Amino acid sequence: MVKNIDELQQFGKSNMDATVKSFGSLSNGLQAIAAEMADYSKRVFEQGTAATEKLIGAKSLEKAFEVQSDYVKTAYEGFVAEATKLGELYTDLAKEAYKPFEGQWSKAASVK
């Protein structure tokens, strides 16, 4: 049972504060991820456009294959780098969103 109503109110306030902080971290993290995705999309579009222009301007079949190979290699490397970066952003997001709740579990046990 709860020892007194003040403890329960304090625990509820503490949980609410942690939730608000967590939502703030979540919002900031998701904004960073969205901005990164927008930048990546823009870069990919520009690289694709440049590769298409080079491909159209190729004078021989060998040159066309070279342009295509370079583009595929660059696109793959860019994708792997971006996937790694997004993975790090999501990991940071999870850590930051959980931080406010780290001490809450021990408090919950003591409020019984």
pTM of this prediction? 0.75
Tally the domains of the chain.
1
> Residue 84 falls within a domain, yes or no?
yes
> Residue 97 falls within a domain, yes or no?
yes
> Residue 112 falls within a domain, yes or no?
no
- How does pLDDT run across 11-27, given as a tens digit for each residue? 888 888 888 888 899 99
- Percent of the chain whose predicted confidence (pLDDT) is above 90: 62
What is the secondary structure of 47-99 as a DSSP string? HHHHHHHHHHT-SSHHHHHHHHHHHHHHHHHHHHHHHHHHHHHHHHHHHHHHG
> Residue 37 falls within a domain, yes or no?
yes
> Residue 107 falls within a domain, yes or no?
no
Domain of 85 in residue numbering reads as 5-101
Determine the distance from the C-alpha atom of residue 35 to the mean position of all C-alpha atoms in its chain, rounded to a whole number.
9
> Residue 85 falls within a domain, yes or no?
yes
- How does pLDDT run across 54-78, given as a tens digit for each residue? 999 999 999 999 999 999 999 999 9
> Residue 109 falls within a domain, yes or no?
no
